[in-house]
Structure 1
């Protein structure tokens, strides 16, 4: 299959359409014009820089460079988890729990997928390792952030109910059980919806990109199914770890609820 190369002027035409959309929002006084332009600018700059980094990384194919980039991606994802929470845990716990949960889930599933299922030589080959880990971290980050936000906000709003349950003799797990289940449901819902709609409502991004790049549709479908399953595993285990660790942090050693460990909501 022939791959059609895109020139920069063709991307410029697409950018003009974004500018036109921003102009329409300004004309309609929607207050989104500046936000759209900044987001579009960040997209161009960030992806261009990533493209340069990946070209250098693919050329060297050294394990330490792959590990360094993976750690950088993990730390940035941890920061985004904190930024997406309205009422986060104090003292760096929000960053620590989110980052640890993503590390345990995404890195473990990614390494198993590379070594056992895909099997590139070497197993850390950047062409496979970085895109796989990036997709897993992006989706796991969203799931963990949604789950932690629902957990902390629900705990704060229902702190009176939780304390009443504790006074009636419930354990801390029982007192916060319904909130934990709701947090898990919130974290997993995006990937569940994505799997349910894949191929019917929408074509997943990786599959579309591979087909546009000239990959046979049957092979692109196989890779997309694998990616959907690995993303679900990473998000599920990451959300479970984050909710478990964060809910325990909300109680002290004497099983007393500690709402003072939550930060005030951001304005």
Structure 2
């Protein structure tokens, strides 16, 4: 099966559909038409730039360049995690903790897939490593940002209850246990919803793209299952590490709550 290529005018015709959202915004006085335009322009510019970079990178198969692109993706994702939190840790902790835990979880499971399940030659081949890492990273970023926002917001709102549990003799992680559970559930919920609806409500993007490119559906399903297992594992691992790290930072060795280490946006 040959790959159907898209031309400039095909994309230009499809882009006109954005006008519908703009018209609705003007008609309903939503005030988001400018944001829609800026987001669309950013998307086009960013994807064209990424496509050009990947085209060059795919021709080199360099471990150093693959790692450099992965590092840049992690740093940008870490900024998104920090930006989505209303209350975040003050200082470099607000950026470093979520970024470090996300990087460790995503890099570990990407290596697991490259060395164990996919086994490209070479193992760091950018056409495999970068898209795989990007899919895992994007989903882990969403889960970690939701979980951290839930935790820091709950610490701010439920401070009297937490301090009361500590006053009654609870250790710091015991006092924070209810909101840690709640934050963990919230961070994992997008992944759970995606897995529950996949194949019935929606066909995932990677599987659809492979089928459109001519890959047999059975093989596309296997790749999609692998990706979802990796996403679930990396999100759970990264989220757990991030929540424990924030809980540790928001308390001290005397088991006191330290809300002064939080910064409100």
The TM-score with structure 2 as length reference comes to: 0.98
**Contact (CA 8 Å) 1:78, 1:95: kept in 2 or not?**
yes
Question: Which ranges of structure 1 fall in alignment gaps of 5 or more residues?
Answer: none
Cα deviation 1:176-208 (Å, max 9, x = unaligned): 100000010011110011111110110011001
* SS in structure 1 at match of 2:2: coil
Q: How far does residue 19 in structure 1 lie from its aligned partner after superposition? A: 2.3
* SS in structure 2 at match of 1:60: coil
2:208 and 2:10 mapped to 1: Cα distance? 19
* SS in structure 2 at match of 1:236: helix
| Paired position in structure 1 for 2:117 | 117
| Paired position in structure 1 for 2:163 | 163
1:106 and 1:205 mapped to 2: Cα distance? 19
| Paired position in structure 2 for 1:231 | 231
Question: Which ranges of structure 2 fall in alignment gaps of 5 or more residues?
Answer: none
Moved over 6 A (4+): none
Matches within 5 A, 1:76-155: 76-155=76-155
Matches within 5 A, 1:1-267: 1-264=1-264, 266=265
2:212 and 2:22 mapped to 1: Cα distance? 28
1:74 and 1:224 mapped to 2: Cα distance? 22
The TM-score with structure 1 as length reference comes to: 0.97
1:129 and 1:33 mapped to 2: Cα distance? 36
* SS in structure 2 at match of 1:85: coil
Higher alpha-carbon deviation: 13-22 or 174-183: 13-22
2:246 and 2:151 mapped to 1: Cα distance? 8
Q: How far does residue 173 in structure 1 lie from its aligned partner after superposition? A: 0.9
**Contact (CA 8 Å) 1:19, 1:37: kept in 2 or not?**
no
1:249 and 1:128 mapped to 2: Cα distance? 37
Cα deviation 1:100-144 (Å, max 9, x = unaligned): 111110000000110011111111011110000000110000011
Q: How far does residue 29 in structure 1 lie from its aligned partner after superposition? A: 1.3
* SS in structure 2 at match of 1:100: helix
Higher alpha-carbon deviation: 27-36 or 42-51: 27-36
1:46 and 1:73 mapped to 2: Cα distance? 13
* SS in structure 1 at match of 2:263: coil
For these two proteins, the number of residue pairs brought into alignment is 265
Structure 1 vs Structure 2 CA RMSD? 0.8
